Structure 1
Amino acid sequence: MSRHPEVKWAQRVDKVYLTVLLPDAKNAKVNLEPEGVFTFSASAGAGDLLYELKLNLFDKVDVEESKINIGVRSIFCILEKAEKVWWKRLLREDGKAPHFIKVDWDKWVDEDEDNGANDLDLGGMDFSKFGGMGGMGGMGGMGDDAMGDDFEDSDDEDQEVSKSDKNLEGGAKAEEEHGGASGEKKEAAASI
């Protein structure tokens, strides 16, 4: 049985910041499809427990321009939106938010404060592009080796991950959560 890693998210008019918090992840596999499907799987912990998730994002994304950074503590993705519009929430599905997806208040900007500028300090992280995955949208879930090579373990938190060298795929059902918020931020979280 797999588990869900904790996921944090924030957005701008043109992109979504997605952080999968899973320290010391091994055999990480990530897939992003143009229709807005993000999948992830990896093992972690003393017993090499399996962690998986599948997010049906609110709208379509530009896979070619989206970027990923695999670090020791987390997997950080910048997902470029296909249309530069503010999303009402992260996931396509309505209903109660899942417990393992939370708003990343450190990166969050309210819609009326978003000027379209990239004002987020990424601490010098090197990113590679998901690029070249556009034709993989219809390919299956876990275990489909036709998607590329496996990720290699990385001890370097800021190591660049090249799509051509790494496998990008995943599996399992995902959900989201509002998390604790107050004041103006609580109103923003209500639309997640």
Structure 2
Amino acid sequence: MSRYPEVKWAQRADKVFITVQLSDSKDAKVNLEPEGVFNFSGTVGTGNTHYELKLDLYDKVIVEESKINVGVRSIFCILEKAEKVWWKKLLRGDGKAPHYVKVDWDKWVDEDEDKGAGNLDSGGMDFSNFGGMGGMGDMMGGMGGMGGMDEFEGSDDEGQEATKQADKAEGDAKPDEHGAGTSEKKEAEAST
């Protein structure tokens, strides 16, 4: 009896990315047909457990321009679409996708963000959205921060951390009520 491997997928306007999650597969075979039929078979483990699947893709593909990489942990396929349009889903038909077919959120890009998003031919990583890691601040800002971290914000000196914690302990009083911040306040008043 054969089993179904887990399959992850993502797309761009011109490509579909399919990753068959199957570690240490032996005799892995992938057959792609222009009509959009994707067949996979392979064995795993000392018991030679057989895995296979057949996916009837949403639309046609260009077999000659598609690429398949059989790796140690997975089989990664970049399928070139025959028409450069976004597919509504991976598989044709009205039914729901099988439980072993999942979206690959690591590679997913929304249709409106696809313009110039780059491709995944370079090792499966799309670095175009990282932009020098500037996006991390935006991502963290929406998360509301981690509990208790606001006490240390902007502080590189342990002495400052202790002062801020002491201020909090005295009823969250304003800085000028404790004598802290008065020189900055006087400088601001003098400059106006």
Bin the TM-score by the shorter chain: 0.5 to 0.7
How many equivalent residue pairs?
A: 125
Residue identity matched to 1:21: Q
Runs (4+) off by over 2 Å: 116-125
Whichever of the two has the greater Rg, that structure is 2
Alignment of 1:53-68 (within 5 A): 53-68=53-68
1:87 correspondence with 2:87: yes
- Give 2:77's aligned residue: 77
Task: Measure the CA separation in 2 of the matches of 1:121 and 1:65.
Answer: 12
1:36 and 1:61 in contact (8 A); partners too:
yes
RMSD over aligned Cα atoms: 1.7
Q: Which has the higher contact order (CA 8 A, sep 6+)?
A: 1
Any stretches of 5+ residues in structure 2 without a counterpart? 126-192
| Distance 1:124-1:95 versus aligned 2 partners, 3 A rule | closer
TM-score where L is the length of structure 1: 0.62
TM-score where L is the length of structure 2: 0.62
User: Shift in Å at residue 123 of structure 1?
Assistant: 2.8
Helix, strand or coil for the counterpart of 1:27?
A: strand
1:39 correspondence with 2:48: no
User: Shift in Å at residue 117 of structure 1?
Assistant: 4.3
User: Shift in Å at residue 119 of structure 1?
Assistant: 4.1
2:91 and 2:97 in contact (8 A); partners too:
no
User: Shift in Å at residue 45 of structure 1?
Assistant: 2.0
- Give 2:123's aligned residue: 123
1:18 correspondence with 2:25: no
- Give 1:172's aligned residue: none
1:44 and 1:50 in contact (8 A); partners too:
yes
Task: Measure the CA separation in 2 of the matches of 1:84 and 1:49.
Answer: 38
- Give 1:52's aligned residue: 52
| Distance 1:56-1:116 versus aligned 2 partners, 3 A rule | farther
